[in-house]
A and B are shown apart, each in its own frame.
Chain A
């Protein structure tokens, strides 16, 4: 089965990734201070930039998710999804490699945040694979900007 030509698979991936990104953004948007702390714990970004990242990243997730679901700028949004997953994979991997046990900050940044680990890396690789299918799709359905028909 060719994923790239199957419109239902492309739409299912768009909706899934969109929902995931929107869900992931809410808690971070509400708690920028907690999210900034979690970013700092990764020790992967310059300290001064961590607040800015904490303010921006959740909104990029939110709008990318909205774009994927509503069929707006799907090319750009799917590329951004891959890029974000790439950054997450690198950030989590370096933390795992250095053996630092930190909160992931992937979905929740307050109570109930999970720890980083191999499972997160594998999940993010799968998500970026799904985003790749959307990016390289050969059928365009339900896209309003630019129009698919």
Chain B
């Protein structure tokens, strides 16, 4: 690349930067320049009881720990595994559905609570999935932060395919 091209590219990038940022400032629905991850609150059991009877307008996404996840599991909540099909087939929470193979809306109603999980603390798939489900119309989504490793080491029900 010659110096002439470098100058031309810099000008095109500079003009784009100016218009990109400028248009974002003047429009009503501009977005922040640095994307920040949303942090979700931890849920507790009492809250679950309250929400069960409340009419919800905003979708609720809450983080749940192992104890509460087991409680939700025992109550028969729908579990959705956000990992890929291979990891899913190697072992998952018993009765969980795999995200890549389901049409969730055909199986449960938008008001039914869902629990999502993936492969633990470093995995963001369960949060991403929860946000997508909320966008799609599901009202209550719990994210099991410990995910598959924590569930498996607690010796709770699992299955393989």
Contact = CB atoms under 8 A, between A and B. Distances in A.
B107 interface: no
Contact of B9 (A40, A50, A80, A100): A80
Contacts of A49: 34-35
8 contacts: A36-B31, A55-B21, A56-B16, A73-B11, A75-B4, A76-B6, A76-B8, A99-B85
Interface string A66-90: 0100000101110110000000000
B108 interface: no
Nearest to B4: A75
B76 to A, nearest CB: 29
B7 to A, nearest CB: 7
Interface residues of A, number: 31
Given A32-B24, A75-B4, A76-B5, A63 B34 contact: no
Nearest to A43: B124
Residue among B20, B33, B34, B36 with most chain A CB within 10 A = B20
A52 B33 contact: yes
Interface of A: 29, 32-33, 36, 40-41, 47-52, 54-56, 58-60, 62-64, 67, 73, 75-77, 79-80, 99-101
A70 B12 CA distance: 14
Interface string B19-38: 11101100001111111110
B52 interface: no
A49 B34 CA distance: 6
Contact of B12 (A36, A47, A80): A80
Contacts of A100: 84
Given A55-B24, A60-B16, A63-B16, A76 B11 contact: yes
B55 interface: no
Given A47-B37, A75-B8, A76-B11, A54 B16 contact: no
Contacts of A77: 8, 12
Contacts of A56: 16-17, 20
